[in-house]
Structure 1
């Protein structure tokens, strides 16, 4: 049993722990909703900032990994070949593809689970991706002392 206050008259009302839906106050006879459902049957979940940062940060982490690994591969001249399919030059592209797929996955999961914070974080991350891409290219160019004036 949980005790809540009526949103209309501020009197205490006793409800079951798993009570969800529309109820009538015994004191003022006004209707109110309780347990995550609003009047139009949509979710009234509290905006969860942790879910926002999961939706925003997880895909961008792959972009940061892509450019960080590109700098390491260039600086230490790391070369690898995995089963003749992927070599070290493909690391940046593969991590960007993984980033895009994780955006899509988090967006779909957030929409299906009605987690507004997660899918909004995913959309903000998708909108911020071009900025991260440009910053990554600039960071790579500065870190590897790369310039357009190089001659062969």
Structure 2
């Protein structure tokens, strides 16, 4: 920034006086020492409201689904995804047995290398890893959403590189949780069916699992609708 000076004539003695080009108010002539007024007070700039349009229904629903997906995935780290025969529950970190009031939990690494249980342990470990990746990706996506919303509302300033990542990788970080959760479920089902060989009951998915996959599928559909409308 630099200052531009203008020359004006004193209205009393008509001598030249230098003032800033944006100066306004009452001044005193250095020659005749008489006072005079000069300039006009600049009008305050009113920020355009075009950048603060109401959130569309698609964006609001997408926000809600991605937030719900993040919450359910975090909960999914600790709850049962599959139930077998009413006494065996499968979680991302292992199995829980519950029979006649007695319960016990077994981790995937515990049964790794124990004969026929090795296949189940391997698929269980992959299920665990995929679930963790899904949680991390979902959290990153939600962080991107918060970041973009704050930037659009002028509440946050970020670098161009970070802004590019937040906008560009929204689609990827919305798809990854759906793929990882779905693939993890399929893998653990294969491991269970291989071990049981039709005995002990069919491994039915819990309502939580069905709801989770549904929400993750819904959020991916909504992110595509968002990008299509941008």
Is the TM value for this pair above 0.5? no
TM-score range, shorter chain: 0.3 to 0.5
Larger Rg computed on CA atoms: 2
